Structure 1
Amino acid sequence: MTVDEALAELAALEDPKVRAANEKRGDDHGMNLAKLRALATRIKTDHELARALWATGETPARLLSLLICSPRLFADAELDGMLREPQPPKVNDWFVNYVLKKTPAADDLRPRWLHDDVDTVAAAGWALTAVRVVKRPEGLDLDALLDEIERDMKNAPPRTQWSMNETLAQIGIRHPQLRDRALSIGHELQVLADYPTAPGCTSPFAPIWIEAMVARQA
């Protein structure tokens, strides 16, 4: 599929009602994401097309790009540059989850991003740290991470705060020897304690999240 053909297919997915709903959340597109995923499935992996679609700067094209790219083929500098570009929430979320969390380059980039001055960049560093806590904690200084979370999370920018909170929760869930301290930090800071949570869903407030997940493992 060519870039022009892909853009035409994306334009055909535009729905004004979907756009109005998305714009309330800061996302500038009107696509049904299930239909977008069906288009990506039809295209399959096409990294060069993905690069070309990303280069348009358009949100629908970038979302499709993230679904058909090959994360391992992006160079470190390319990933850093993409992350630093202004992005609506959905593009940033998919970029972190569908690209950064699936590339070996994350191991090199994560420490550099953790203390970046740009909120979305630091947030990506902490999101990748949360993945390491769960999947491969070897080499991480978990006590030092808790020190930093205890010191900085309360006043961190929104996206960074969210990812730091995820790291705090995952340390408490996955590492019993540090659970009491993680719970104590969560109670002390009260970050996301009042976050609205739908019935049947687990609160992102770290103490509730930790205790709920540990109970499920019992």
Structure 2
Amino acid sequence: MAAISTGTTVNEVMDQLASLEDPKMRAINERHGDDHGVNLGKLRAVAKELKTQPELSRQLWHTGDTAARLLSLLICRPKSFDQDGLDSMLRECRSPKVMDWLVNYVVRKSPHAEDLRRAWFRDPDPVVASAGWALTSERVSKSPEGLDLPALLDTIEAEMQDAPDRLQWAMNTCLAQTGIAHPQFRSRAMAIGERLEVLKDYPTPPNCTSPYAPVWIAEMVRRQAGE
């Protein structure tokens, strides 16, 4: 892979990304809803060479290309975005990987994270709502002060089973994190998972933990106990 300087133009970066395109990788990614064929390890290597470049990041984002947007999120300055800008970015991206990186690498580091979590959490668009639930899961596990955990469990119990895929996944993650991080709610979280059976039959590779909440909770609690 040719070296990229920090003075590279957006067109040069796009050419570099095109040279990294792998049809087999694209086929794999498209099965997960991501329309790009660039190995993420190679994408991260490009980002490491470019370093932080907010203006180039902005230009790459506005190409609309999925690989370019992923790279954009790796070289941006998270705290430079305002709340409306982050909201617009989330609403215009539909690639699961772009959305995941936007939430995890940018929004979570932003001073607007909590305001956006509240705004997105009950958004009528289930994709946007899933981002609110993802941010809520982090609050549940790391800074639950001020959250109404019983009410969260009520909502999950009432809505998760019939939620669209991405929202259902995010709610299930919140359910599992509640059971893992909060012993006083563990039995209820396990019971909700067992009754709803969401992701019970999800194909899980060997040596990986199932996303089925009762199994996930039990395994993480076992690890925390050092068994």
TM class by smaller structure: over 0.9
SS in 2 for 1:171: helix
Tell me if the contact between 1:202 and 1:209 (Cα under 8 Å) persists in the aligned partners: yes
Instruction: State the partner residue of 2:39.
Output: 32
- Does residue 1:157 correspond to 2:164, yes or no? yes
- Does residue 1:42 correspond to 2:39, yes or no? no
What is the deviation of 1:20? 2.7
- Give the alignment's TM-score, normalised by structure 2: 0.92
- Does residue 1:102 correspond to 2:109, yes or no? yes
Instruction: State the partner residue of 2:3.
Output: none
What is the deviation of 1:141? 0.8
Cα distance in 2 for partners of 1:193, 1:24 equals 21
Tell me if the contact between 1:100 and 1:106 (Cα under 8 Å) persists in the aligned partners: yes
**Identical pairs, percent:** 62
- The range that moved more, 51-60 or 82-91, is 82-91
- Give the alignment's TM-score, normalised by structure 1: 0.96
Instruction: State the partner residue of 1:192.
Output: 199
How big is the alpha-carbon RMSD for the aligned residues of Structure 1 and Structure 2? 1.2
User: Any residues of structure 2 matched to 1:115-154 within 5 Å, and which?
Assistant: 115-154=122-161
SS in 2 for 1:138: coil
What is the deviation of 1:167? 0.6
- Does residue 1:54 correspond to 2:61, yes or no? yes
Extract unaligned runs of 5+ from structure 2: 1-7
Which residue of 179, 186, 200 corresponds with 1:179? Answer: 186
Question: Would the alpha carbon gap of residues 189 and 20 (structure 1) be closer, same or farther in structure 2, given more than 3 Å must change?
Answer: closer
Instruction: State the partner residue of 1:71.
Output: 78
Cα distance in 2 for partners of 1:76, 1:2 equals 27
Q: Segments of 4+ in structure 1 off by > 3 A?
A: none
Tell me if the contact between 1:123 and 1:160 (Cα under 8 Å) persists in the aligned partners: yes
What is the deviation of 1:11? 1.6
What is the deviation of 1:137? 0.6
